[in-house]
Structures are given as structure tokens and as C-alpha cells.
Amino acid sequence: AQSVTQLGSHVSVSEGALVLLRCNYSSSVPPYLFWYVQYPNQGLQLLLKYTTGATLVKGINGFEAEFKKSETSFHLTKPSAHMSDAAEYFCAVSAVGRRALTFGSGTRLQVQP
Amino acid sequence: DAGITQSPRYKITETGRQVTLMCHQTWSHSYMFWYRQDLGHGLRLIYYSAAADITDKGEVPDGYVVSRSKTENFPLTLESATRSQTSVYFCASSDSSGNTIYFGEGSWLTVV
């Protein structure tokens, strides 16, 4: 069984500040980990993913995430927030050999001017 | 590059009616999925399909029916719509590696 916990349903940061969105997962087998972003009234866009190899993963729009097996975490960060980063962010996990994703409940990021 | 398309994008229907949401992908991906998105729940898997004529239940399958006669199409049918099925429905697809899942733009369904 797999599950994902996103800490904080709403996060607010100032423009230019560090963005940190937290994600913890549980999986009985080696996981694939994903972050998706959703803008209002749109579908989900892949930000980045970890499958194997380097544990620090860089994605689009300046985001990155680090897979920490010992902490079962895959937190999303961006050094400097931009107004256009305001959106909902979803962490998701799938297990090797299982194609379907299990999603967290999402974190809405608000960026203050 | 059409990718993955859903129709209709917006639908209002009455309780008890049958509704079919269509999903079409142009990549010949083997895997296709249906998720529903509800506030506070993220996305939950309804059904998925590994190939034509192979489907399986996800986390919340009750009240839904799927079929996959062709690789590119994966329709989702609500046989008798209920208000609790008011949601945003997302279709998705991936190749056999499962490394990346691509999502459609969603179908907003309201059951009154």
C-alpha cells in the first residue's frame, strides 16, 4: 500500500522568499515520486520526478526536490518565489511495477507581493 | 500534438441520468487512468487500464463503468448519476515504463 501526506494545505510566502512544500510518503516497495502543479481550471502539469539515480531532482520553473529515503520525504523547494508560482501543488507516489499514482491532498501556494 | 483530450469539458446533469465522459490520447500509451478531484482529497483513482480490453478498479470505483475497446480511447460512464459524483474528472495516460503520467485538462461535472 502507498500513501502520501502533504503537510500544510495552504502555504503563503512573499515574492522572492524561499518556497518549501513538504511531502512524506509510505511505500512498501521502492517508490517513484512526483510533483505536479495545477493552475486554476487547468489539468496537472509535471514539475519533476524521481525514479532512480540522483536523489536531488531539478524540474521546471526553478523547482527542485530531494528524495530522502531515511526520512521518507520528497520536499519541493524553490529559492525565490515568483507571483506566477501561485497554484496548487500535488505530491504523488507510485511503486515500481505499479503504474497508477497515489496523490497527496495538495498544497495551495499563495505568493504575496 | 493533440496529446490527451477530454470531452465534454463542462457538464450539468440530473440525478439518475447516465453520463459518459470521453478520453482520447494520441500517443498510443498502453496505460490510461481516470481520477476524480475533490476538495481536501486530492486526486483519487477510479479505474485504470493496462491495455485494450484490460481494466481494473482503483480506489473509488463504485457507480462508475469503464471500457477500452481501442488503445486510444477510455470512456468513463456514470450509469445513474448521484450528487456525490459532482467532481472534476481527469483522464491520464502513460507508456509502459510508468515514468511519466500525462493528464488531460479535466471534465467538470455537476449533478443536480
Each residue's pLDDT tens digit, B9-37: 999 999 999 999 999 999 999 999 999 99
The torsion angles phi and psi of A51, rounded to 5 degrees, stand at -120, -60
| Residue-level pLDDT at A97 | 63
| Residue-level pLDDT at A84 | 95
pLDDT of A101 higher than 80: yes
Q: Is B94 within 8 Å of chain A by CB?
A: yes
Residues in chain B closer than 8 A to A108 (CB atoms) = none
CA distance B83 to B111: 5
Rounded to the nearest angstrom, the minimum Cα separation between A48 and chain B is 10
pLDDT of A7 higher than 70: yes
Percent of chain A clearing pLDDT 70 (strictly above): 97
pLDDT band at A107 (very low <50, low <70, confident <90, very high): very high
Q: Is A36 within 8 Å of chain B by CB?
A: yes
CA distance B85 to B78: 8
Q: Is B106 within 8 Å of chain A by CB?
A: yes
pLDDT band at A98 (very low <50, low <70, confident <90, very high): low
C-alpha distance from residue A73 to each of A25, A36, A57, A93 (Å): 6, 16, 13, 11
Q: Rounded to an integer, what is the distance from CA B83 to the centroid of its chain?
A: 17
CB B66 within 8 A of CB B47: yes
Residues in chain B closer than 8 A to A32 (CB atoms) = 98-99
Residues in chain B closer than 8 A to A36 (CB atoms) = 103
Verify whether the Cβ–Cβ distance B105 to A42 is below 8 Å: yes
Rounded to the nearest angstrom, the minimum Cα separation between B95 and chain A is 9
Verify whether the Cβ–Cβ distance A105 to B99 is below 8 Å: no
Rounded to the nearest angstrom, the minimum Cα separation between B18 and chain A is 24
CA distance B76 to B90: 10
Rounded to the nearest angstrom, the minimum Cα separation between A96 and chain B is 8
CA distance A100 to B55: 12
Side-chain half-sphere exposure of A111, counting CA atoms within 13 A = 16
First to last CA, chain A: 41
CA distance B21 to B111: 13
Q: Is B53 within 8 Å of chain A by CB?
A: no
Q: Rounded to an integer, what is the distance from CA A57 to the centroid of its chain?
A: 11
Residue type present at position B15: T
Q: Rounded to an integer, what is the distance from CA A113 to the centroid of its chain?
A: 23
